[in-house]
Structure 1
Amino acid sequence: MPRLPGQNPVTRRRAIYSLGGVVLAAGLGYAGGCALAKGGKGSQTYPQAPVMPADAKVHKQTLTAIRRSRQLAAPPAPPTDILGYSDGPTIIRLQQGEWLEAAFTNRLHEHSTIHWHGIRLPNAMDGVPYLTQAPVMPGESFTYRFQPPDTGTFFFHPHCSTVEQLGHGLAGILIVEGDEVRPHDHDLVCVYRDWRIDKDGKYQPLMTDAGASKAGTFGDHRTINDQVQPVFKVPAGGDVRVRFLNVDMSRVVDLGIVGADAWVIATDGNPLPPQKLKSWRLGPAMRADLTLRMPHVAGTRIQLVNYYSAQPIVMAELEAEGTPLDRPAFVPAALKPASIPEPQIDGAETFQLRLSASSAPADLPPDLVLPDGSVLRYADALCLSPKTFWALNGQPWPSASHEVLPPPLVTFQRGKTYIVEIINQTPHIHPIHLHGHTFKVIGSSKGDVVPHWADTTIVAPKERVKVAFVADNPGDWMIHCHIIEHQETGMMGIYRVA
């Protein structure tokens, strides 16, 4: 059974941590999104953190990565050891305009960071170890300070050893409020994930060659907020906002509602003119906000359903309770518009990003001889799978260099609009995520799309998807597939805004 990162003894993989600066200073290369910069942790230059104004309104949050127990499998199965940022669910709520000051402490037995998924934040706060900051080693701390520019529904998670850490539950939710023109009576956060556990609560393999090289390794313990088919009590006749987040590492969800009409009002946290919901496809890391009116009869239930299955799967239920609220006829209200720069499509330069299987293994650094004479294969060192299956534009991660980060796939000029045409040359779905920017999905070779803002978009087999954005956030940013096994076996790269 795979051990938790919070409980692993020293192994060949973790021997690198005990060597500390000796190994880091060796400048041997990079691993799984955690590139070792030449000169090591002490001499690496990282982007400068933003300066918080003296009069800033600040939301202070303590986040500690710890091991804890949760009753996932049904009793009499024992509780399962999981990872979390606290002893309970972590949901941070900010008001638009507030700064977040998040003091992160790592109590795991391997390094970690926090990536703030979907936030257009300064490069220094993006949480990618060895690219935007030094890794937070066991027992160390790091403080993130930034002011989210956009309202919406976001989440945060580690960005190294992600299969292990996210697969054991290490994630939290960030909600930036202030986008509603008409308040809802209830705001419900629904976090979807599969757990790779059996009926006894024991972990099954989080990553397999068969899964990593195809559609991903799937769990069978489907949960919302860590519960199997929970029932949430909400006001009868009330207006409900459902914030649905898919934080699974592989599973695709076709989100639907049975028992009431619903409208999609936000995608990846970004406002969308209300769209009547039939189903909405969400790959890993994607989010959708819904608005709906609950039935007036107390005890009536509506269902959240996943249609991406041979048979529809009920994920959760909402039950009307209490005296029905007196409301006028329901008309879905649009959220306040986003302040994201609108891309100027006419004359915009197009960059093609090709998703493919890797034709050759990644060029890894040489083996490392430890002080005791044993040999550490560098692919085992931090968080890179020793196997490579995927590539972006023919380049698997890591790239050819042994001493520095792989070169950017592309450099965009700051302030210009770009169209990225994502071309899926594989027989599998890939949800592609850009750090640092929010893009507009503008077209697909498979048919019409509803133009919408997103930070992650699904690209189906043999599909071409076009997205557009203004490259207004300087720095080196990650771009990768958010099926985490694909990310960690090659489908990841860097793009630069300069």
Structure 2
Amino acid sequence: MNISKRDFLRMSAAGLAYMPNALSAQTDLLSVTARVADVQLLPDDYGKTQIWGFDGIAPGPEIRVTQGARVKRRIINDLPDPTSTHWHGIRIENAMDGVAGLTQDPVRPGQSFDYDFVAPDAGTYWYHAHNRSFEQVARGLQGALIVEEPEPIDVDREEVLILDDWRIDPETAQIADTFGAMHDLSHAGRIGNYITTNGTYNLARKVKRHERLRLRLINASNARIFQLGLDGLEGWVVAMDGMPLATPRPVEGPFLLSSAQRVDLIVDVTAEMGSAGHLVQLGGDETFSQVAFEVTSDGARAPRGTPRPLPPNAHAMPDLANARDITLLMEGGAMGGMRGAMMGGRMSSMRDMMQAGNFWAFNGAVGGMDGPPLAELSLGETVRLKITNDTSFPHAMHLHGMHFYEIERDGSLGAFRDTTLLDRGEVRAIAFVADNPGKWLLHCHMLSHAASGMMAWVKVA
């Protein structure tokens, strides 16, 4: 296959020609090494690409355990930079959360850190670097963490699908060394020019007609918001960010998956024999096949209809009538009206902020882990956090350690998740029970935004 450099830049996806093997679900301490590796990320006409990957692959090895089991991993740092590992979406002991500078010291090159925690909730989660994450995740340091339900789900099989994008220099086939670029920090974040699923270009899977699949979708990109749809597949959303919906929701059109978000779909293959169903990506005036499901044989005689809900994960319900109200105002960025903010304990102009690599503010201050917490919370109290996006860009706000409910406009509780997407100018309230003691990060998961001011933390006593 010959691809011109112009065609390369227009391509929607590319990647590795293999799937990482799952690590066993045993509870012994297993080692995973974060290291530099050369892989055939691009088509064969190109040379190999240097990545940073867990065990030298991207995505890293899939970790799969049953609900209630322990996850024990020794992360060995064989990288040139310090690192740490965050277990995204897991309601975890604070010391195991993996946030360098807040919950642990960064793991220096040549050293290791032992993570040991219980996976309390069934669902789709992931793990990724959390030191200079805007660079380390973009280089490939991420993988899937799957927590299975105690009893099997009524599907024929499942597919874990990690969506990612890479910014590649087509002249060298290397990841572009533009980490911390001013445009990324101040605009929409680091958007790649090369989109993959499980590190693979135009990923395809062979299926049977009317086969029922569980698709676990993970957006591991730095900043890309995927607009997705189904073709030749009849589907239902059964979980978001690992947490089951009370009632499966039919997929009746495009749906968004922001950076760090996950969605579980149950789909029936309705495409005819010899054709294919698709998970499609919609971008502008074009539609791409993100994953093709090639129908090679007959399965069940007919679709099975609406699936049963997944078993719920136990959690405390917020008491909105007695909630503590907190506000979070997001400001700054390109095309914003912010003239300055508190930085390093003093009021600074936007120009001074930019020179320090900061472009965003929370509640009038450049966010970070060194300053005071956004709030000090009592164990067990309900928090209602009103977030206002007074910027020109969307932001995916992620809370560590606890899930939250998105509050609908009528005051009812909506989706239960750990990352919420706010469009520019949007206002949204979320509610959660502060039931996990420790210091918990709250930040934009457009990772360049977090690195340039969109970061706060809360303390639960």
- Asked if these proteins are the same fold (TM beyond 0.5), I'd say yes
Verify: 1:468 aligned to 2:415, yes or no. Answer: no
Distance 1:254 1:74 in 2: 25
Amino acid at match of 1:267: M
The aligned residue for residue 388 of structure 1 is 358
The aligned residue for residue 85 of structure 2 is 114
Distance 2:342 2:291 in 1: 42
Distance 1:321 1:386 in 2: 57
Cα deviation code 1:311-339 (max 9, x no counterpart): 33321211223342456733222100121
The aligned residue for residue 209 of structure 2 is 236
Distance 1:171 1:416 in 2: 33
Farther off after superposition, 341-350 or 90-99: 341-350
Distance 1:297 1:180 in 2: 32
Verify: 1:202 aligned to 2:165, yes or no. Answer: no
Distance 1:360 1:330 in 2: 55
Deviation, 1:349, is 1.9
The aligned residue for residue 35 of structure 2 is 66
Distance 2:224 2:295 in 1: 29
Verify: 1:307 aligned to 2:287, yes or no. Answer: no
The aligned residue for residue 340 of structure 2 is 360
Q: 1:59 to 1:323 in 2, by over 3 A?
A: farther
Q: 1:349 to 1:230 in 2, by over 3 A?
A: same
Deviation, 1:364, is 5.3
Which stretches in structure 2 are left out of the alignment for 5+ residues? 1-24, 333-337, 346-353
The aligned residue for residue 274 of structure 1 is 248
Amino acid at match of 1:254: Q
Q: 1:472 to 1:63 in 2, by over 3 A?
A: same
Amino acid at match of 1:336: P
CA contact (8 A) 1:196 1:206 kept: no
Q: 1:296 to 1:192 in 2, by over 3 A?
A: closer
CA contact (8 A) 2:407 2:430 kept: yes
Distance 2:140 2:159 in 1: 20
Amino acid at match of 2:42: A
Which stretches in structure 1 are left out of the alignment for 5+ residues? 1-55, 366-383, 400-404
Deviation, 1:392, is 1.1
Distance 2:342 2:70 in 1: 40
Cα deviation code 1:8-58 (max 9, x no counterpart): xxxxxxxxxxxxxxxxxxxxxxxxxxxxxxxxxxxxxxxxxxxxxxxx972
Cα deviation code 1:404-446 (max 9, x no counterpart): x2110111111011111111111110000001100111225xx
Verify: 1:264 aligned to 2:241, yes or no. Answer: no
The aligned residue for residue 78 of structure 1 is 47
CA contact (8 A) 1:301 1:317 kept: yes
Deviation, 1:385, is 9.4
Cα deviation code 1:353-388 (max 9, x no counterpart): 1111164377459xxxxxxxxxxxxxxxxxx99410
Cα deviation code 1:166-216 (max 9, x no counterpart): 111110110000166633111101111111003342222244212211111
The aligned residue for residue 6 of structure 1 is none
Matched length: 419
SS of the residue 1:487 aligns to? helix
Deviation, 1:164, is 1.6
Farther off after superposition, 425-434 or 450-459: 450-459
Q: 1:389 to 1:183 in 2, by over 3 A?
A: same
Distance 2:195 2:411 in 1: 31
The aligned residue for residue 53 of structure 1 is none
Q: Of 123, 128, 131, which residue of structure 2 is paired with 1:157? A: 128
Amino acid at match of 2:71: L
1:402-421 aligned within 5 A: 405-421=370-386
Q: Of 51, 56, 70, which residue of structure 2 is paired with 1:99? A: 70
Instruction: Give the TM-score normalised by the residue count of structure 1.
Output: 0.79
Q: Of 483, 487, 493, which residue of structure 1 is paired with 2:446? A: 483
Instruction: Give the TM-score normalised by the residue count of structure 2.
Output: 0.85
Distance 1:309 1:176 in 2: 35
Of Structure 1 and Structure 2, the greater strand share is in: 2
Q: 1:260 to 1:409 in 2, by over 3 A?
A: same
Distance 2:431 2:109 in 1: 39
Deviation, 1:158, is 1.1
Verify: 1:174 aligned to 2:112, yes or no. Answer: no
Amino acid at match of 2:102: L
The aligned residue for residue 131 of structure 1 is 102
Distance 1:449 1:424 in 2: 21
Amino acid at match of 1:222: I
CA contact (8 A) 1:362 1:397 kept: no
CA contact (8 A) 1:94 1:177 kept: yes
Distance 2:306 2:275 in 1: 21
Distance 2:433 2:457 in 1: 17
Deviation, 1:461, is 0.9
Cα deviation code 1:81-140 (max 9, x no counterpart): 111111444111100111111111000011111011111001000001121112110010
1:215-226 aligned within 5 A: 215-226=188-199
Distance 2:137 2:277 in 1: 30
CA contact (8 A) 1:433 1:455 kept: yes
Q: 1:241 to 1:203 in 2, by over 3 A?
A: same
CA contact (8 A) 2:64 2:148 kept: yes
The aligned residue for residue 144 of structure 1 is 115
CA contact (8 A) 1:254 1:279 kept: yes
Q: 1:333 to 1:309 in 2, by over 3 A?
A: farther
Verify: 1:341 aligned to 2:330, yes or no. Answer: no
Amino acid at match of 1:203: I
CA contact (8 A) 2:232 2:269 kept: no
Farther off after superposition, 347-356 or 100-109: 347-356
Q: Of 215, 222, 229, which residue of structure 2 is paired with 1:249? A: 222
Distance 1:234 1:339 in 2: 34
Amino acid at match of 1:479: L
Farther off after superposition, 318-327 or 161-170: 318-327
Amino acid at match of 1:224: T
